[in-house]
Amino acid sequence: MMRRGANLPSIGEFNQSVVLDVIRVAPTGVSRVEIAAQTGLSSQTVTNVARRLLADGLIREGERLATGPGKPRTSLHLVPGARTAVGIHLDPSFITYTVVDLAGSVIARAATPTPPVLSPADVIESMRLSVERLLGEADINRARLLGIGIAAPGPLDLERGTVDNPPLLPGWNGVPLRDALGDALGLPVALEKDVTAATIGELWSGQDSVRDDFAVFYVGTGVGLGVALDHSVRRGATSNLGDIGHLRVSHEGVVCACGNRGCLGENIAPARLVSDAVRGGIIPHVDPADHGAIAAAYADVCAAGASDERAARLLEQIAGDIATAAVAVANLLDLSDLVFSGAFWNHLAPVVLPEVRRLIAGSRAYVLPHALRVSTSSLGSDATAIGAGCQVLSSAFAPSAAPLVRPAPA
């Protein structure tokens, strides 16, 4: 396909995003000279861009630094509160709401159970009320609010902004979630797949911003994989990348909906662990249709794994299945890092993470010439909601070459 070059306004916007990104990730500030050295931009370009960013209130000047002979350098710092965004994570078990600032830090949050019997329209109205309440309680300046990001389980149609029959949300087929919530709140709304949102959160506000090639192994009500290569999130042909639920990790387990046995999603599902724990006499009966009860029982079983041998055996099986999947995706994508995330992962991690690391390190199937670094997301149980908000920030401010190279007209 023939490509066209960019016009000067596009280049100017790109350079502005590049400079802001350098300032954003510098915890103690950065000088104009250092920005020019890091980006390859001329000193005059950096000065002009910094002037615009200062006028927009996105950055501020800090202390003057004497680093040697010559004029002291003035450090530039991000103004985190200059812009905010709302992030929403729609999960079959709960809906999490966050307000994040320009640094990706959470300045307000709330969570509610996902109503199991209400129509999508009723749930969307509940989301509207929750967002309005959160913005009011946190006294968020609407003039600085860029919009709302929603992370939802796939499959999604991002062109139409719809949720299209995800496995654990019955009745959510062709639901125009993006436009319905946007119309209800009068704000721009962006829809993103949950695992992709979690990956964006790691890129924007994660603990280690220097990771380039990594995946987010998402453990929630469902399981998924978010991928970042060359420090850019990957979405796939229809933005539904990351469905690893049907990756076969063993020859054991119940028969999955796909007809196979040993699928990752079925083997490590919270409902499956709770069901096995009930059958093993570890916990009393739990209503399998009550997502809230399943979540509470799941936490109990994970906590019991430290002292109850029956629970420990169940968790060992999950660790084995996760490690098998982790090796497969690491080999496939040549990853340097694997970050575990998701609300249910935080319950698993204390018992399961050491075993997952041990199994990966000892796997004969692992073929990469470097060790795989395995960690838990620094963003906590709200990582996906944070990522949904960061998606709005990223769309507005992250450097992207896409506007610079456009297809030629037909």
Q: Which of 78, 109, 141 is the last residue of a domain?
A: 78
Looking at the domain assignment, is residue 308 inside a domain?
yes
Looking at the domain assignment, is residue 221 inside a domain?
yes
Looking at the domain assignment, is residue 410 inside a domain?
no
Residue 408 has pLDDT above 60, yes or no: no
Contacts of residue 139, defined as CB under 8 A and 6 or more positions apart, other chains included, come to none
Q: Are residues 260 and 345 in the same domain?
A: yes
Q: Which of 30, 47, 78 is the last residue of a domain?
A: 78
Q: pLDDT value at position 403?
A: 45
Residue 242 has pLDDT above 50, yes or no: yes
Alpha carbons 320 and 87: distance in angstroms, whole number: 33
Residue 388 has pLDDT above 80, yes or no: yes
Residue 66 has pLDDT above 70, yes or no: no
Q: pLDDT value at position 239?
A: 92
Alpha carbons 167 and 176: distance in angstroms, whole number: 17
Looking at the domain assignment, is residue 158 inside a domain?
yes
Domain that holds residue 32: 3-78
Alpha carbons 81 and 104: distance in angstroms, whole number: 10
Q: Are residues 103 and 30 in the same domain?
A: no
Q: pLDDT value at position 93?
A: 85
Average of pLDDT values for 133-144? Answer: 95
Residue 214 has pLDDT above 60, yes or no: yes
Q: pLDDT value at position 272?
A: 94
Q: Are residues 62 and 107 in the same domain?
A: no
**CATH number for position 26:** 1.10.10.10
Average of pLDDT values for 127-144? Answer: 96
Residue 380 has pLDDT above 50, yes or no: yes
Q: Are residues 232 and 288 in the same domain?
A: yes
Q: CB pairs under 8 A, 24+ apart, for 176-185?
A: 177/90, 177/120, 177/124, 177/150, 177/152, 178/150, 180/121, 180/124, 181/124, 181/127, 181/128, 181/148, 181/150, 182/148, 184/124, 184/125, 184/128, 185/128, 185/131, 185/132, 185/148
Residue 208 has pLDDT above 90, yes or no: no
Average of pLDDT values for 369-391? Answer: 94
What pLDDT digit, counting tens, does each position of 280-309 carry?
A: 999 999 998 888 899 999 999 999 998 999
For residue 171, count other CB atoms closer than 10 A to its CB: 11
What pLDDT digit, counting tens, does each position of 266-275 carry?
A: 999 999 999 9
What pLDDT digit, counting tens, does each position of 69-82 carry?
A: 666 789 999 999 99
Name the average pLDDT for the chain: 89
Which of 9-13, 135-139, 316-320, 391-395 shows the lowest per-residue confidence on average (mean pLDDT)?
9-13
Q: pLDDT value at position 243?
A: 93
Higher pLDDT, 66 or 111: 111
Higher pLDDT, 344 or 170: 344
Q: Are residues 330 and 252 in the same domain?
A: yes
Quickly state the pLDDT bin for 68 (edges 50, 70, 90): low
Residue 182 has pLDDT above 70, yes or no: yes
Q: Are residues 351 and 216 in the same domain?
A: yes
What pLDDT digit, counting tens, does each position of 79-106 carry?
A: 999 999 999 999 888 899 999 999 999 9
Q: pLDDT value at position 70?
A: 60
Q: Which of 78, 107, 140 is the last residue of a domain?
A: 78
Q: How many domains does the chain have?
A: 3
What pTM, to 2 d.p., does this model score? 0.90
Looking at the domain assignment, is residue 408 inside a domain?
no
Q: pLDDT value at position 167?
A: 79
Q: Are residues 348 and 285 in the same domain?
A: yes
Contacts of residue 197, defined as CB under 8 A and 6 or more positions apart, other chains included, come to 87, 89, 149, 151, 226, 384, 387, 388, 390, 391
Residue 407 has pLDDT above 70, yes or no: no
What pLDDT digit, counting tens, does each position of 150-163 carry?
A: 999 989 999 999 99
Q: Are residues 302 and 220 in the same domain?
A: yes
Residue 44 has pLDDT above 80, yes or no: yes
**CATH number for position 267:** 3.30.420.40
Residue 4 has pLDDT above 80, yes or no: no
Q: Are residues 247 and 322 in the same domain?
A: yes
Q: pLDDT value at position 64?
A: 77
Q: Are residues 87 and 72 in the same domain?
A: no
Q: Are residues 222 and 350 in the same domain?
A: yes
Looking at the domain assignment, is residue 138 inside a domain?
yes
